[in-house]
Amino acid sequence: MKRAIIYGVTGQDGSYLSEFLLGKGYKVYGVTRRSSNDNTARLPISLNNKRFKLVQGDVTDPAGIYRLLSRAKPHEVYNLAAQSHVWTSFNQPSTTWDITAQGCLNILEVIRGMQKKPRFYQASSSEMFGDNFDYEYGDGEDAYQDELTAFNPQSPYAIAKAAAHQATALYRRSYKLFAFADILFNHESERRGETFLTRKVTKYVAELHMALLEGRTIPKLRLGNLYAERDWGYAPDYVRAMWMMLQQEKPLDYVICTGESHTVEEFIMRAFQCINIYEYRNYKEIDKKLYRPSEVPYLRGDCSKANRLLGWVPDTTFEELVKKMVTNDIQNRDRHHEDITPFEEAGNS
Ligand code: NDP
Ligand code: GDR
């Protein structure tokens, strides 16, 4: 039976990846760091599986990584652990560095010292491109990023990710490690952390939907920069790509994205439209504190290489993604309010 270790198993992607690997017959060691509250809310499905083992650990603790890898003797190690919130990284640059850059290096060093070396996966980020892009036709209309676009990171998080990305490539070249780094563009889901833009918006929309039905008012949605553009995909599609990469004969880096870019405002408008609100501006206010000292203005990936060599294509469209997230947040609210009108029928614009 194949064995895999997932660092970052309690996060959005870690939870989907653990279910995906269990579905493929793996034994999965999911690593969770110690916390004063239960942080396994995303893992009920995996925790019910006898082939899933939850173990304590932390990527900043090299000795613990060594003990786990020596004991479990995994075939594959997935590093999804990170301080992954860009805005937070400006407030906590050192912590972000220790987890997101040093944590990756700690795992690579342990693998380097092992006799039977597992395959290694590093979750790199489109944030590494920062404000850089290439042009297809030179007229600015078709700007994109791919595996060859130069990095110009714009946050402590992106700098840490770029360091981990380069370390993975260096260990692959220098020590013949079977190490891959995917450049993942934004991907969201019903399990997305609540302080990321998409989930913050869909939770608000669900709350507003309920409030309108009950004749209540709620405070406005506080937002930062509405004009940044992002290439948003669906997380389960992206964890499938992670596994597909590690099954390749030759370790290469891939961009994983949808190829479509939408503004933050477009995401918000779509989410409000799910509850039949077509003029959302009355419900939002801009809070300058939510602006970042330095922003990534535009992300649109080109994943032709992953299409060609992995046969990977995203299954979920932008419109489906927004709808899934809003529907899920409304259903979560509904569990406590069984008798409300389904949102499709609510005429509250
Ligand atoms: P999340 O923030 O949801 O999950 C991060 C995970 O890392 C959590 O399980 C968290 O644990 C864990 N973690 C944090 N610090 C440590 C530590 N010191 N030791 C061990 N584990 C730790 O991120 P996502 O699931 O969205 O993303 C997964 C990976 O992919 C991350 O590395 C992220 O940077 C990267 N990525 C994500 C993209 C996206 O759009 N989602 C796009 C590009 C890259 P806890 O639950 O205890 O906080
Ligand atoms: P991002 O995601 O920074 O792209 O990083 P996030 O959802 O935090 O921001 C997306 C865009 O929305 C703007 N924005 C706001 N963002 C947040 N969080 N909260 C707000 O209130 C708000 N208002 C506007 C932001 O300025 C930004 O332009 C995500 C993370 O998952 C990273 O870990 C990952 O590497 C990248 O995607 C690719």
Question: Relative to the CA of 296, which ligand 2 atom is closest?
Answer: 28
Q: Which residues contact 127 (CB under 8 A, 6 or more apart)?
A: 86, 153, 154, 155, 157, 158, 161, 296
pLDDT number for residue 338: 46
Q: What is the pLDDT of residues 101-131, one digit of tens each?
A: 999 999 999 999 999 999 999 999 999 999 9
Judged by its nearest atom, the ligand closest to the C-alpha of residue 222 is 2
Q: By C-alpha distance, which of 59, 69, 251, 65 is closest to 160? A: 59
Q: Which of 186, 198, 285, 298 to mutate to test the pocket of ligand 2 (most atoms within 8 A of CB)?
A: 186
Q: What is the pLDDT of residues 195-252, one digit of tens each?
A: 999 999 999 999 999 999 999 999 999 999 999 999 999 999 999 999 999 999 999 9
Q: Which two tokens mark 166?
A: 């380069």
CA of 13 to the centre of ligand 1 (A): 7
The sign of the torsion formed by the CA atoms of 295, 237, 266, 343 equals: negative
User: Does residue 125 have an active-site annotation?
Assistant: yes
Contact 274, 322 (CB under 8 A): yes
Q: By C-alpha distance, which of 202, 195, 188, 182 is closest to 273? A: 202
Judged by its nearest atom, the ligand closest to the C-alpha of residue 158 is 2
Question: Relative to the CA of 15, which ligand 1 atom is closest?
Answer: 25
CA of 156 to the centre of ligand 2 (A): 14
The sign of the torsion formed by the CA atoms of 151, 157, 159, 162 equals: negative
Nearest-CA residue for atom 10 of ligand 2: 197
Topology (CATH) of 3-188+235-256:
Rossmann fold (3.40.50)
pLDDT number for residue 140: 59
* Pairwise CA distance, residues 321 & 236, whole Å: 11
pLDDT number for residue 333: 83
Ligand 2 contact via 193 beta carbon (within 6 Å) = no
User: Does residue 7 have an active-site annotation?
Assistant: no
* Pairwise CA distance, residues 19 & 46, whole Å: 6
* Pairwise CA distance, residues 154 & 147, whole Å: 18
Q: By C-alpha distance, which of 87, 7, 95 is closest to 54? A: 7
Low-confidence residues in the chain, pLDDT < 70: 137-141, 335-349
Ligand 2 contact via 90 beta carbon (within 6 Å) = no
pLDDT number for residue 342: 38
pLDDT number for residue 146: 96
